[in-house]
C-alpha cells in the first residue's frame, strides 16, 4: 500500500481517503476463493493497500491507524453470516526527495462461528515517486516491497517471504484522480507443495485500477483489483479472480475521518478451460459492508 506514494496522493484532499477504504477491503479480500489472486491481494493491498505519501519537505514521517466493522448483513442466526472487527496500521518515512520507506500490517477478529483473531502479512517496502511525468498531471512511480509472513495462511503454506514490484500511473481528469497500477509478485516458499497437497503459487500477476473524487470534506472512491497466477509447476491458474469496492466518507476533523464501503469479489473462468464463468460486478453472497474510522498522524 503505501506503494504508489505521492503520485496518487496528490489527487486527494488528505491522507485519509485510502486508509478509510482499506479497513473494509482487508476483510473482503479474505473471501477470495481462488489462489490465482488471493496471494497477491495479501489483504492489504487495496486501493488502499497502498497509502500514498505526499512528498513534503516538512514531512519526514507519519502514519495512520484504521478501525472498521465489517459485515455481510446476513442475520446473525444465518449460517452465512460473517462479522468482524478489522484494523490496520501503517508508517512511512520520507528520507530523500521522492524516496520513501513504508511498512504496514493489520488483522481482524471474527465475531461468530470460528471466532478468533487473525493477523495479515506485514509489508516493508521502498517507493520512488514521480519517476516519469507526462501531460499536465500524469506521473509514473515505482515501488518494491517484501512480505513478512505474519498471517496464519502464509505460515501454513510455509511462505518464507514474497517480493512485489508495482509501477503505478496516475493522472487527473475533470477533478477526478485515476490510478492504473500493474503488479508482479514472486513468492518464496520453503516447499513447492502445501500441507494440503496443493502446489503453491510461484508468481502472481495483477492490475489495480482506481478513481477518487473530493467535494469539500466529503470523498468518494472506487477501486478494482484483478489477476491470475502461475504455480511452481509452471501451470497458469484456470481463471481470473477479482475484487473491488466503492467507498464514501467524510473528514470531520483534520486527522480523523469516517467511511462507508461496499466491497465484493468473484472468479471468472476462461472458456478455454471448459466453462465460462459469470463475471458479476456485485455478488450479494460475497459482498461486505464496512463502517470505518481512520486517524492519521
Residue 97's SS3 state is: coil
Residue 79's SS3 state is: coil
How far is 51 from 212, CA to CA, in rounded Å?
14
Q: Give the chain's count of helices (H) and strands (E).
A: 4, 14
Residue where the block lists cell 513478512 = 148
pLDDT band of residue 57 (cuts 50, 70, 90) is very low
Of 7-16, 112-121, 177-186, the poorest mean pLDDT is in 7-16
How much is the pLDDT for 206?
Answer: 96
How much is the pLDDT for 113?
Answer: 76
pLDDT above 70 covers a percentage of the chain that reads 74
Q: How far apart, in Å, are the Cα atoms of 155 and each of 103, 147, 152, 190, 200?
A: 19, 12, 5, 10, 12
How far is 85 from 75, CA to CA, in rounded Å?
17
Contacts (Cβ under 8 Å, ≥6 apart) of 147 = 42, 121, 122, 123, 154, 159, 161, 162, 163, 164
How much is the pLDDT for 290?
Answer: 96
User: What structural domains and CATH numbers belong to the chain?
Assistant: 2-296 (2.40.160.40)
C-alpha cell at 161: 517471504
The 10s digit of each residue's pLDDT in 142-178 is: 999 999 999 999 999 999 999 999 999 999 999 999 9
How far is 173 from 10, CA to CA, in rounded Å?
13
pLDDT at 96 over 90: no
108-137 in b/e form (b: 16+ CB < 10 A) is: bebbeeeeeebbbbbbebbbbbbeeeeeee
Q: Please tell me the pTM assigned to this model.
A: 0.79
pLDDT at 2 over 60: no
Amino acid at each position: 500500500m503505501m506503494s504508489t506514494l505521492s503520485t496518487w496522493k496528490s489527487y486527494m484532499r488528505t491522507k485519509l481517503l485510502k486508509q478509510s477504504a482499506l479497513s473494509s477491503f482487508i476483510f473482503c479480500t479474505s473471501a477470495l476463493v481462488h489462489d490465482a489472486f488471493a496471494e497477491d491481494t495479501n489483504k492489504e493491498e487495496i486501493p488502499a493497500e497502498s497509502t500514498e505519501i505526499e512528498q513534503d519537505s516538512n514531512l519526514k514521517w507519519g502514519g495512520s491507524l484504521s478501525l472498521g466493522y465489517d459485515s455481510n448483513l446476513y442475520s446473525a442466526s444465518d449460517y452465512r453470516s460473517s462479522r468482524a472487527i478489522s484494523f490496520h496500521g501503517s508508517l512511512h518515512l520520507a528520507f530523500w526527495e521522492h524516496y520513501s520507506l513504508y511498512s504496514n500490517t493489520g488483522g481482524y477478529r471474527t465475531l461468530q462461528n470460528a471466532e478468533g483473531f487473525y493477523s495479515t502479512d506485514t509489508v516493508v517496502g521502498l517507493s520512488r515517486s514521480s519517476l516519469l511525468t507526462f501531460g499536465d498531471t500524469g506521473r509514473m512511480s515505482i515501488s518494491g516491497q517484501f512480505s513478512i509472513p505474519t498471517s496464519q495462511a502464509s505460515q501454513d503454506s510455509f511462505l518464507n517471504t514474497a517480493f512485489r514490484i508495482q509501477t503505478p500511473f496516475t493522472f487527473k481528469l475533470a477533478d477526478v484522480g485515476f490510478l492504473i497500477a500493474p503488479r508482479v509478485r514472486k513468492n518464496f516458499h520453503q516447499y513447492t507443495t502445501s500441507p494440503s497437497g496443493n502446489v503453491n503459487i510461484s508468481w502472481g500477476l495483477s492490475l489495480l485500477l482506481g478513481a477518487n473524487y473530493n467535494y469539500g470534506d466529503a470523498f468518494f472512491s472506487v477501486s478494482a483489483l484483478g489477476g491470475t497466477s502461475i504455480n511452481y509447476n509452471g501451470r497458469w491458474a484456470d481463471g481470473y479472480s477479482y475484487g473491488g469496492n466503492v467507498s464514501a466518507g467524510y473528514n470531520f476533523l483534520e486527522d480523523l475521518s469516517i467511511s462507508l464501503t461496499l466491497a465484493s469479489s468473484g472468479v471468472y473462468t476462461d472458456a478455454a478451460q471448459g466453462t465460462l464463468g459469470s463475471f458479476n460486478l456485485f455478488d450479494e453472497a460475497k459482498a461486505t459492508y464496512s463502517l470505518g474510522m481512520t486517524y492519521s498522524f
